[in-house]
């Protein structure tokens, strides 16, 4: 059995990424939005949503979300080059998007399925590519914290939220430094995999260490975080657009009041995303994001429960569930292309 064979079943049939569990995660989402609807009252939320020109607002938000994917794809490519994986840009972009299929999993760990797609394409061991997903999540979290901190300083006068964000950011940075240092793998991980059920992963420790050190050492961590910031800011612009329309402020502009709303919208989305990210046991941050976002919009911006609920439902549809749809489409394309390459060519009869 090859190295890749020993990993495949765990990823494809494991408790976090099985189809049955994915359906359960979607069900959790349905329950969360039902609760949001009950809290803000369904009819009032529906009225708020229909009060905006959703026929162009939703496509515009989807466009910004896709621009986020394109920007963060640059980080994905940078990481693959760092670990010596060389796919064509088309193949790599397809794999990157296909990972969104399982983004609605706890800690988004289901995106590790990207390693399976790469293995199908060129045989790269999963132990080499799956850790890249961890590096992506860590640098995404750092980027969100940086965005939220600056937005809070500009958009709000004070509060304990800033201290919480700084604490989360500090812990994430410490975690990234540890994961990007060889000593962690030599002194801790190898001991953890020297006995018990983790022993089967012992042979892959060096491969995992190579990937993590190449992607989370100081320079690549700084580069990846810097790329993530403008990517995730695209989603903050979506929240700005929503709040501008829902509050009756009109279209976003460069007026002082609109720019202040931009800072507030940026903090709401970035901080809520951070909350969802640190609650790793929640699929896609469901429940964590929604609760925090509604709380801030109600008690710090003074929005009604209906407006806060409408904004939360719309932003999550476009930033979370739209990515899942994109992931399924991309996964079908990548899988089809892989099978086509593997299909033996028919030899002419002689």
Contact 292, 316 (CB under 8 A): no
Asked, for residue 350, whether it belongs to a domain, the answer is no
Structural domain including 133 reads 3-341
CB 66 within 8 A of CB 326: yes
246 inside domain: yes
Q: How much is the pLDDT for 16?
A: 41
Has residue 238 been placed in a domain?
A: yes
Asked whether residue 70 is assigned to any structural domain, the reply reads yes
Does some domain include residue 348?
no
What integer pLDDT is reported at residue 315 of this predicted model?
97
Q: Is 347 a domain residue?
A: no
Q: What is the DSSP letter of 1?
A: -
197, containing H or E segment: none
Q: What is the pTM of this model?
A: 0.87
**205 vs 216: CA distance, rounded Å:** 16
Residue 170's pLDDT is: 84
8 A C-beta contact, residue 155 and residue 264 = yes
Q: What is the number of structural domains in the chain?
A: 1
In a domain, 346, yes or no: no
Q: What is the pLDDT of residues 89-112, one digit of tens each?
A: 999 999 999 999 888 887 777 788
pLDDT at 9: 37
pLDDT at position 190, please? 59
Question: What does the pLDDT look like over 165-219, one tens digit per residue?
Answer: 778 888 877 877 777 777 666 666 656 655 544 455 566 777 888 888 899 999 9
| Burial of 339 per CB tally in 10 Å (0-12, 13-18, 19+) | exposed
Residue pair 29/294 in contact (Cβ under 8 Å)? The answer is: no
Regions of the chain short of the pLDDT cut 70: 1-19, 21, 158-161, 183-203, 343-350
Q: Is residue 215 part of a domain?
A: yes
């Amino acid at each position: 059995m090859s190295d890749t064979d020993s990993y495949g079943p765990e990823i494809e049939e494991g408790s976090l990424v099985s189809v049955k569990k994915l359906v359960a995660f979607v069900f959790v989402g349905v329950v969360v939005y039902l609760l949001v609807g009950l809290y803000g009252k369904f009819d009032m939320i529906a009225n708020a949503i229909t009060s905006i020109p959703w026929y162009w607002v939703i496509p515009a938000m989807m466009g910004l979300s896709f621009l986020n994917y394109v920007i963060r794809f640059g980080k994905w490519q940078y990481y693959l080059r760092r670990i010596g994986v060389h796919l064509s840009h088309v193949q790599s972009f397809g794999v990157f998007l296909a990972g969104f299929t399982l983004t609605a999993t706890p800690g988004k760990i289901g995106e590790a399925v990207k390693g399976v797609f790469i293995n199908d394409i060129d045989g790269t061991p999963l132990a080499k590519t799956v850790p890249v997903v961890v590096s992506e999540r860590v640098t995404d979290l750092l980027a969100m914290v940086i965005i939220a901190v600056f937005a809070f300083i500009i958009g709000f006068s004070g509060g304990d939220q800033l201290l919480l964000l700084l604490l989360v950011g500090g812990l994430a940075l410490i975690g990234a430094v540890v994961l990007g240092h060889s000593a962690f793998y030599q002194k801790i991980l190898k001991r953890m995999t020297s006995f018990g059920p983790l022993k089967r992963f012992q042979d892959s420790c060096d491969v995992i260490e190579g990937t993590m050190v190449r992607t989370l050492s100081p320079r690549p961590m700084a580069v990846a975080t810097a790329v993530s910031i403008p990517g995730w800011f695209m989603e903050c612009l979506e929240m700005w657009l929503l709040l501008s329309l829902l509050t009756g402020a009109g279209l976003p502009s460069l007026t002082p009041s609109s720019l202040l709303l931009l800072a507030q919208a940026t903090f709401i989305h970035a901080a809520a995303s951070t909350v969802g990210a640190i609650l790793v046991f929640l699929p896609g941050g469901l429940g964590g994001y929604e609760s925090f976002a509604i709380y801030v919009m109600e008690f710090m911006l003074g929005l009604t429960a209906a407006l806060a609920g409408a904004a939360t439902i719309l932003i999550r549809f476009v930033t979370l569930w739209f990515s899942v749809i994109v992931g399924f489409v991309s996964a079908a394309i990548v899988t089809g292309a892989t099978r086509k390459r593997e299909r033996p060519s028919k030899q002419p009869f002689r």
